[in-house]
């Protein structure tokens, strides 16, 4: 019989009998002893079982033993959670605490314990290892995207396209980026051991955990190691493959992986091995594989080889063999350069390639000269920022990225709905109004949510005035056709439409944001109309992380799209770089004026204030700009 000791503090003595009964009931083959921490002699203990480890056993007691049972085998009070987990690994050493997280030693105790796993596995979560594809966020599979949207927790790689997380995760998903100390630089990377423990920790908390990787989890993604780590803990997992960089990067570069005129197959190699740091023989083995590929009419695909290229390239027999370097393959910022083996090192130094860079050695590299297509997209090479609501920034970025641009969207304000008791007096009196004015898509979502919360039928809405085609479109999706849609997406547009009506004595309801000016309300009152305007939601400036702010500054956008005067204010207050030249793009006269008020005169304004209007502006007036091409 196994003999285990539970250390307790004086304040927990009243719980001892309950704990003892519970453990004896469910794990009768183990003899449990209790002692005060003050009475324990460390030299005589192989393992010290502490509060958090007890908690690992009993955290599910209410589900294992129903509260209604007559057998009082469950705890009557809640144990302290994850406190002071320690383990005496060696009697000669001091008690060791986990530096990474308070679960570490409790997990070690659970490992390979089939008795405990059988008891608690019904309450474990599940892990999905998902390949997000390499490059464009839309390269993720349908199944992968579905699982990401359903996840409680997503543990993501730094190299992953962050737009995947913005676009596909659920509203309440916890995103755990694999960074350390808030930085994303190589020397502060998180070790594989800590990654494994992070995955396991959330799985033991009964979470649906997605481990999201660029490319494919089982192609140089360490997915196999992560699965092996989960096995002895009884955690269920599923692997969803992704499009590897050897497929996506070559396709976007216009280099066929196989071409019957040039190669009979391919081999895939990693140019980084830990043993290479200690032995020159490692580089010789890599070179021999490349030589074999070239002799056998194969193409060699090299992952993680950029920093070590010069070590093994000089050992390649065929120094005039064609080689391609694909930096950030299948991303909008993709760069591709062709060379020959003996010239490649000078090219690397000249172009200053950054990771991830895929290297391709073989005759079919030459096909790129007439098959390249990505660089021919109309907006290729343009770096564009868009400051808008989350929905609009995603739509705009997707549209422009499809045209070859590197467009990144950021939401600068959080939309916080006003308390329901503040808006209910207005919404409950909808039937008293002749018109309701809706000036944004955000207002529609929040208004509908409030109507639902107040159990108010949407059919009681009065005549609807909207600004812009997008706002109109949102209503049409609901089967509602707005009554007034101005030609101009602005307050002036609404005023122009109202000037053609007799609004004297008419009642208007105007649910607005906290940033909305009083121009429209003032006009209605001047025309002897009656208007009740109230705050429907507040625009609260986001506190962008230092990493995000630095990303924006480092991006050095050629164009910045401003979708509101408030986005102009935020940018110049928090993000403006005097040394950065850019062309501002506006989607409304008020926004353009806000830019001019800041001394920016050369503003490009879309004629149609929609995402398609922005697209047309770029295609018509910008695509031939010498700044980029």
What amino acid positions are annotated as catalytic residues? 157, 183, 304
Q: What is the end-to-end Cα distance of the chain in Å, rounded? A: 77
Is residue 293 within 8 Å of residue 361, measured between CB atoms? yes
Tell me the C-alpha to C-alpha distance, in Å, between residue 544 and each of 189, 390, 412, 511, 547.
22, 14, 8, 28, 8
Neighbour order of strands in the sheet with 357-361: 265-270, 298-303, 357-361, 322-327, 335-340
**Kind and range of the H or E run holding 115:** helix 114-120
How far apart CA 477 and CA 323 sit, in angstroms, is 52
Burial class (CB in 10 A: 0-12, 13-18, 19+), 549: middle
Helix, strand, coil percent values for the chain (each to nearest 5): 40, 20, 40
- DSSP, res 178: S
Report whether 426 contacts 532 (CB < 8 A): yes
Residues 522, 527, 529, 531, Cα dihedral to 10°: -10
Structure tokens at 151: 């996840």
Q: What values do phi and psi take at 567, rounded to 5?
A: -70, -35
DSSP element (H, E) containing 137 = none
Neighbours of 499 (CB within 10 A): 10
φ, ψ of residue 484 to 5 degrees: the values are -130, 120
Q: Cβ–Cβ contacts within 10 Å for residue 323, how many?
A: 25
Q: How many CB atoms are located within 10 Å of the residue 451 CB?
A: 17
Instruction: Give the tokens for residue 43.
Output: 């030299």
Lay out the sheet containing 507-513: strands in order across: 413-417, 530-541, 507-513, 435-438, 463-466
Dihedrals phi, psi of 572, to nearest 5 degrees: -75, -20
CA dist 42 and 476 (Å) reads: 72
Residue 356 backbone phi and psi in degrees, to 5 = -85, 130
CA distance 549 to 573: 12
């Amino acid at each position: 019989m196994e003999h285990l000791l539970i250390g307790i503090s004086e304040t927990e003595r009243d719980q001892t009998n309950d704990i003892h009964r519970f453990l004896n009931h469910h794990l009768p083959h183990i003899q449990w002893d209790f002692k005060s921490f003050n009475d324990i002699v460390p030299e005589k203990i192989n393992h010290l079982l502490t509060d958090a480890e007890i908690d690992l056993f009993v955290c599910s007691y209410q589900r294992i033993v129903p509260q209604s049972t007559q057998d009082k085998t469950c705890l009557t009070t809640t144990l302290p959670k994850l406190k002071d987990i320690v383990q005496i690994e060696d009697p000669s050493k001091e008690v060791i605490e986990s530096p990474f997280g308070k679960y570490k030693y409790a997990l070690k105790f659970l490992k390979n314990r089939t008795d405990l796993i059988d008891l608690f596995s019904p309450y474990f979560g599940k892990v999905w290892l998902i390949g997000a594809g390499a490059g464009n966020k839309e390269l993720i599979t349908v199944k992968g995207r579905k699982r990401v949207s359903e996840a409680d927790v997503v543990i993501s790689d730094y190299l992953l396209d962050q737009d995947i997380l913005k676009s596909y995760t659920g509203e309440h998903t916890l995103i755990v980026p694999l960074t350390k100390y808030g930085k994303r630089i190589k020397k502060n990377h998180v070790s594989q051991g800590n990654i494994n423990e992070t995955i396991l920790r959330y799985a033991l908390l009964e979470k649906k955990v997605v481990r999201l990787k660029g490319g494919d989890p089982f192609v140089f993604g360490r997915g196999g190691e992560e699965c092996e780590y989960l096995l002895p803990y009884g955690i269920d997992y599923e692997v969803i493959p992704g499009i590897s960089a050897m497929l996506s990067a070559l396709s976007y570069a216009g280099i066929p992986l196989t071409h019957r005129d040039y190669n009979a197959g391919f081999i895939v190699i990693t140019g980084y091995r830990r043993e290479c740091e200690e032995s020159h023989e490692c580089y010789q083995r890599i070179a021999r594989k490349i030589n074999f590929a070239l002799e056998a009419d194969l193409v060699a695909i090299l992952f993680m080889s950029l920093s070590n290229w010069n070590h093994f390239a000089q050992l390649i027999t065929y120094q005039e063999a064609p080689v391609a370097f694909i930096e950030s393959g299948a991303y909008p910022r993709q760069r591709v350069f062709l060379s020959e083996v003996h010239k490649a090192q000078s090219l690397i130094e000249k172009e200053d390639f950054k990771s991830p860079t895929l290297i391709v050695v073989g005759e079919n590299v030459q096909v790129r000269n007439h098959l390249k297509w990505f660089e021919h997209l109309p907006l290729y090479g343009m770096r564009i920022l868009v400051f808008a609501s989350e929905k609009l920034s995603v739509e705009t970025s997707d549209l422009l990225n499809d045209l070859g641009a590197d467009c990144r969207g950021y939401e600068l304000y959080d939309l916080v709905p006003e308390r329901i008791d503040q808006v209910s007096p207005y919404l409950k009196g909808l039937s008293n109004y002749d018109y309701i004015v809706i000036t944004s898509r955000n207002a529609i979502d929040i208004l509908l949510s409030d109507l639902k919360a107040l159990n108010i039928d949407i059919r009681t809405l009065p005549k609807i005035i909207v600004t812009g085609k997008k706002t109109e479109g949102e209503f049409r999706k609901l089967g509602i056709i707005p009554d007034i849609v101005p030609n101009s997406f602005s307050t002036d547009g609404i005023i122009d439409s109202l000037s053609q009506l007799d609004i004297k004595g008419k009642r208007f309801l105007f649910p607005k944001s906290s940033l909305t000016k009083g121009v429209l309300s003032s006009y209605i009152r001047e025309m002897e109309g009656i208007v009740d305007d109230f705050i429907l939601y507040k625009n609260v400036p986001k506190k962008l992380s230092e990493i995000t702010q630095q990303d924006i500054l480092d991006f050095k956008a050629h164009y910045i799209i401003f979708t509101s005067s408030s986005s102009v204010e935020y940018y110049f207050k928090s993000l403006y770089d005097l040394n950065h030249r850019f062309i501002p793009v506006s989607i409304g006269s008020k926004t353009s004026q806000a830019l001019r008020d800041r001394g920016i005169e050369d503003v490009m304004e879309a004629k149609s204030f929609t995402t398609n209007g922005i697209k047309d502006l770029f295609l018509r007036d910008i695509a031939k700009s010498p700044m980029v091409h």
